[in-house]
Chains A and B, each alone.
Chain A
């Protein structure tokens, strides 16, 4: 295909004169379509085809399996609850129509704010929101009213990101900030057993149906089997239920090196160890729950793969990543088991460790400096 017409068109519409204030917006679309010609000339640098746009797009691609499965699951849950006899393709179509408004609202509101800020500050528009904007609708209940999603997105982008200077400067994961906002501002739409299953194609009416964690928090045993949870045919936030679909995305992220394997592994390790500890205590039913259930329920897998690994908000040092991940997993399970007020601990646990990540890095670096300094002085003494 010859895209010269497009490049000519871009050259023709390049904003000049009184329109030059639109420069950042133009730049954003231009580099979205074409690789920028500007290359680094001075200093040492690595030649690589991967830049931020490509790595963010890779995250979006990694989200696709979970997204597609989530759409089908929305329809499947409604069909199961209403007793309707739907073809699996119609289930998917139903979920697609339910998800579409959420995704559109998230992207429109978020990108509008991003462009407005970049334009006002004279920065380039950053690509970070392409992933965040898809993550937000994937981690909310399907019946969340759209205006609340819009409000949460605005809050996350402005308070979670732009006040600190935009993508790369934020210390909290913006998608989780949006979810936390919804969770605390409109708790009736974010927890309980009346939000997870859409009643019909439009509106925010829901059919009662508890998630495994809702049942556990209420003191019952989960009615879904471990296999159901692994495949993901359970009620839950739109796209977080299927561990298999998430694992497909995780493989892509690990293969391309965008997500840190240390973080993913240590989150599961931390959660597993905490689960085993509770098994050993065995004080109540929730504590006696097999530890691997924690990996399958709720947002644990989704959080570990797509949220905890956010390179901006995670710990940067390798040792720091282990500590960061272990504590995320441990805190998530701790919150789930010990605090019935918060049935899902993963969101709060990741946000908490986001806050702690710079401290962890600081300690790791300081310790390293100290160790090297003492090694150097020891050598000097030996030589002297």
Chain B
């Protein structure tokens, strides 16, 4: 596989959320607003990329029988680091994300990439694969955050878009369902629907 493909494929043909259907839990939980979604996306990119590199460097020395626990140690170290950075610089968002930063440790995308890719690949491809999958996850997170905040709260990054457009005066109202997690699941479903109709080869028979 060419190095460029490692970044490109997770965007659409092998998107972690749309095709591998991993990491859906956090993508429902943190996308009610755009800002936490973006912060979460960046955190996951950092964790996946670095964890992939570290595990790839260690891959020949990790005994297969305890590889999961080694992976977990590496991932949790990185997550704790990320958590501390968030608390230091974006405390309010860190509070909003609450437990979900810590739960990056159990994010299936991280574990999946480590097991499926970093354990058998060299550091550079692993880095690219980590960044690629993190970006693939981020795209969906940001799209969801955008749609849900815009229609659910009428704002974008806290800016009252709908109010400035004057929509409330002509009877528009925010959609309360949008800020609830079930609607995020339905939106993910709609994106998958659109994505499959563009990529017929992904459709299950």
Which A residues fall within an 8 A CB radius of B? Answer: 145, 147-148, 159, 163, 181, 184-189, 204
Contact = CB atoms under 8 A, between A and B. Distances in A.
Interface of B: 171, 173, 175-178, 180, 186, 189, 193
A184 B180 contact: yes
A187 B176 contact: yes
8 contacts: A148-B173, A159-B186, A184-B177, A184-B180, A185-B175, A185-B177, A186-B175, A186-B176
A105 to B, nearest CB: 14
Q: Describe B's contact surface by its main secondary structure.
A: helix
Contacts of B178: 185
A184 B176 CA distance: 6
B171 A145 contact: yes
Q: Which of B173, B180, B186 is the most central at the interface, judged by chain A CB atoms within 10 Å of its CB?
A: B173
Contacts of B177: 181, 184-185
B203 to A, nearest CB: 14
B171 A147 contact: yes
Contacts of B173: 148, 186, 188-189
Nearest to B152: A185
A92 to B, nearest CB: 28
A159 B185 CA distance: 12
> Ordered nearest first, which 5 A-B pairs have the shortest CB separation?
A185-B177, A184-B177, A185-B175, A185-B176, A186-B173
Contacts of A159: 186
Contacts of A147: 171
Nearest to A159: B186
A147 B171 CA distance: 9
B187 to A, nearest CB: 10
Q: Which of A148, A159, A163, A184 is the most central at the interface, judged by chain B CB atoms within 10 Å of its CB?
A: A184
A4 B5 CA distance: 65
Contact of A163 (B175, B176, B180, B193): B193
Given A163-B189, A189-B173, 12 more contacts: A145-B171, A147-B171, A148-B173, A159-B186, A163-B193, A185-B175, A185-B176, A185-B177, A186-B173, A186-B175, A187-B176, A204-B171
Q: Which of A147, A185, A189 is the most central at the interface, judged by chain B CB atoms within 10 Å of its CB?
A: A185
A187 to B, nearest CB: 6
B94 to A, nearest CB: 29
Contacts of A145: 171
Contacts of A185: 175-178
Nearest to A158: B190
Contacts of B186: 159
Nearest to A203: B171
Contacts of B171: 145, 147, 204
Contacts of A187: 176
Contacts of A204: 171
Nearest to A188: B173
Nearest to A151: B175
Contacts of A186: 173, 175-176
